[in-house]
Amino acid sequence: MSKAKSANLILKLYDLRREETMRKARNWVFTFAPKSADDILTTMMDPEVGAYLRMVSSYWEMAAAMVNQGAIDADLFGETNGEHYIVYAKIEPFLADLREKMGSPEAFKNLEKLMASTPENTARLKKTQEWLQSFAEQSAAQQAG
């Protein structure tokens, strides 16, 4: 895959993220703080926000599949995107339990593969999880007073 073709696909992916419902979904997912696989499953079935979680997580799973299959250059993708780290960082701690409860051992396999594909991706995922934890603690402190 040439860098130019990868760039074109990345721009198309970016354009999809600008759609109004997707923007709302992405904003909502940023605030979603699951504490368990059950939180994720319950939210996925929620009539109000379930579609948001399914939309954003499946979008990034699709994008990761494109990278994993070589349709998009992995380095260029990594340098131009970061939101998939946030999405996966929220799911990863509960992934084994989530897969078992869903009866789907393949759930989020493309994001998982992409995150494990390089030491840099693994380190960035860990930093993202630490940042999200810090953000949650700050938010809780602000709400407490």
Looking at residue 48, its pLDDT comes to: 92
Q: What are phi and psi of 27, to 5 degrees?
A: -65, -40
Say how far apart CA 67 and CA 115 lie, in whole Å: 11
Q: Which of 65, 59, 45, 50 is nearest to 106 (CA)?
A: 65
Residues whose CB falls within 8 Å of the CB of residue 44, separated by 6 or more in sequence, listed in order: 50, 53, 54
Global pTM value: 0.92
Quote the CA–CA distance of 113 and 60 in Å, as a whole number: 12
Per-residue pLDDT of the chain (145 residues; tens, 9 = 90+): 688 999 999 999 999 999 999 999 999 999 999 999 999 999 999 999 999 999 999 999 999 999 999 999 999 999 999 999 999 999 999 999 999 999 999 999 999 999 999 999 999 999 999 999 998 888 778 888 7
Q: Tell me, what's the pLDDT at 3?
A: 86
DSSP readout, 49-63? Answer: THHHHHHHHHHHHHH
DSSP string, 83-117: HHHHHHHHHGGGHHHHHHHHT-TTTTHHHHHHHTS
pLDDT of residue 137: 82
- Helices and strands: H and E segment counts in the chain: 9, 0
Q: Which pLDDT score is estimated for 136?
A: 81
Cα separation, 112 vs 104, whole angstroms:
14
For residue 49, report the phi and psi dihedrals to the nearest 5 degrees: -110, -5
